[in-house]
Amino acid sequence: MQKKLAAELFGTFWLVLGGCGSAVLAAAFPNVGIGLLGVSFAFGLTVLTMAYAVGGISGGHFNPAVSVGLAAAGRFSWGSVIPYIIAQVIGAVVAAGVLYLIASGKAGFAIDPAAPGAFATNGFAEHSPGGYSLMAALICEIVLTAFFLIIILGATGKSVPVGFAPIAIGLGLTLIHLISIPVTNTSVNPARSTGPALFAGGLALQQLWLFWVAPLIGGALGGLVYKALLSEEK
């Protein structure tokens, strides 16, 4: 279990540092910023790379909603969900701290807690990058997290060629970001949302509840739907 929790911590650390780091440091870099497309691929690549690196140890969840969804589908022990979530949140918070130290090395760096997406945070209404409502954010996060679980469960099924699952999962997460960055700045991962919100404070911290509730509901829903309608197991 110690190795599994370490793998989850390191994997979630890499996801937040790579994904959120690309948004904070590179998305709007003068003249050659990577933009929405680059940030989307950065998140997908973090999952793809760490799934290959440590997925064989822990299963490569890196996300509380994934742990809950896999447990709901019968692919993961409910008794391990809480320890996994704790490790994931620690990894995300440490990564956000490292990102803050790097970003603050630039002259004039400051986080505006009222700005939508400040420090790669998630939000709705006035804190949504595109001004989307609470209801739009809730639906978006639930539906996309549910489909993320369906992708994960399907890609890791017994009839799928071994070794290709991280590619499908990473590209799935990339697509999810391409859809939802304008709506919520894309969470589908409560740990990923928690790390940056703790450093940004303000609206991001006040609205953090939605980015725990919606992904966890979506993860459980995706797991249950897959188990009931799509699973190869009788």
Over residues 100-112, the pLDDT tens digits come to 999 999 998 999 9
Structure tokens at 55: 């997925």
Can you give the pTM of this predicted structure? 0.95
Query: What 3-state class would DSSP assign to 107?
Result: coil
Side-chain-facing half-sphere of 124: CA atoms under 13 Å: 17
Q: How far apart are CA 209 and CA 190, in angstroms?
A: 9
pLDDT above 90: residue 22: yes
114-161 per-position pLDDT tens digit = 999 999 999 999 999 999 999 999 999 999 999 999 999 999 988 888
Query: Whole domain around residue 145: which residue ranges?
Result: 2-230
3-state helix, strand, coil in the chain (%, to 5): 70, 0, 30
Q: What pLDDT does residue 70 have?
A: 98
Q: Average the pLDDT over 59-84 and give the result.
A: 97
Model confidence at 30, pLDDT cuts 50, 70, 90, reads confident
Residues 6+ apart with CB under 8 A from 21: 42, 99, 102
**Cβ pair 218, 188 in contact under 8 A:** yes
User: What residue type is assigned to position 3 of the chain?
Assistant: K
R_g over Cα of the chain: 17
**Helix extents (H) in 115-227:** 134-155, 165-184, 190-200, 202-206, 210-225
Q: Average the pLDDT over 19-40 and give the result.
A: 90
Model confidence at 232, pLDDT cuts 50, 70, 90, reads confident
Q: What pLDDT does residue 33 have?
A: 83
Mean pLDDT of the chain: 95
pLDDT above 80: residue 27: yes
Model confidence at 31, pLDDT cuts 50, 70, 90, reads confident
The count of residues in the chain is 234
Of 211, 209, 207, which Cα lies nearest the Cα of 193?
211
Q: Average the pLDDT over 178-195 and give the result.
A: 98
Sign of the Cα pseudo-torsion (173, 177, 179, 183, in order)? positive
Q: Average the pLDDT over 26-52 and give the result.
A: 92
The CATH number linked to 164 is 1.20.1080.10
Domain count across the chain: 1
Burial of 158 (0-12, 13-18, 19+ CB in 10 A): exposed
Q: How far apart are CA 26 and CA 178, in angstroms?
A: 17
Q: What pLDDT does residue 234 have?
A: 62
